[in-house]
Amino acid sequence: MNQFFESFFSQKIQTLYKENSNFDETQLFRLMEKDLGFKNGDLENCFGDFKAYFKENKHLIEKENEKENQNEKENQKENEKENQKENQKENQKENQNEKENQKEKENQNQNENQNENQNEKENQKENENQKEKENQNQNENQNENQNQNQNQPKPLFELDSTMPIYVNQYQGSTYLDLRKYYSVDNQLRPTKKGITLNKNQWEKLKKFKKKIQKKIDKLK
């Protein structure tokens, strides 16, 4: 077999064998004849040693196929390793993002707790100030009441425990004060129930003393 046909047959055999690896040499020979447009037996008649050539090269073809399969497996294995590395990097990145998010959430919760504690302290301080102010106002009121009681003249006499009788002076005039009082924290406070008589009114009232007494005795 000359060099041209040997190269041609070699390429043709490799192509046909890769596509039909389960075929024997006779079946491949028929495919080659059909592919080249020859009748059955033409190639065999022209090249009687084709079968021997096929058997000789079949081993090389199988070896080449095994090498290609091995390369394909190695490439697949390499791709799997690359994918595994990529997945590992992606998982590491996700874990890192998750840790950062967790840390950010913890910081946010910590800040919220700090703000709550700060607000609570401020509210507590405000309440303390309010209470202190109320106590101060209460003390001032007590002192004011005490001063008023100290400055208030003693009653002339008392009709009962809630109705003291005062004789006071105001702007140079003398007045008789008959008024109902009430007690708050052991302190007497005046009510609107009462009457204040000036000196002239008191003199007129005294003139009716007998008539008033007579009316009272009549109503008994």
Angle at 43 between CA 39 and CA 45, to 5 degrees: 100
**Which range marks the domain in which residue 1 is found?**
1-151
Rg of the Cα atoms in the chain: 63
Are 107 and 200 contained in the same domain?
A: no
Are 3 and 110 contained in the same domain?
A: yes
Are 133 and 160 contained in the same domain?
A: no
What's the pLDDT score for residue 59? 66
Q: Encode pLDDT of 59-79 as tens digits.
A: 666 676 678 778 888 888 888
Domain end point (choices 136, 151, 166): 151
Are 139 and 183 contained in the same domain?
A: no
Are 31 and 82 contained in the same domain?
A: yes
User: Considering the entire predicted model, what is its pTM?
Assistant: 0.31
Task: Return the H-helix or E-strand segment holding 16.
Answer: helix 3-19
Domain end point (choices 127, 151, 175): 151
Encoded tokens for 219: 């109503």
Q: Which residues of the chain have pLDDT under 70?
A: 1-29, 31-33, 35-62, 64-65, 141-153
Q: How many folded domains does the chain comprise?
A: 2
DSSP string, 88-120: HHHHHHHHHHHHHHHHHHHHHHHHHHHHHHHHH
What's the pLDDT score for residue 26? 67
What is the spatial distance between Cα 212 and Cα 215, in angstroms, rounded to a whole number? 5
What's the pLDDT score for residue 49? 54
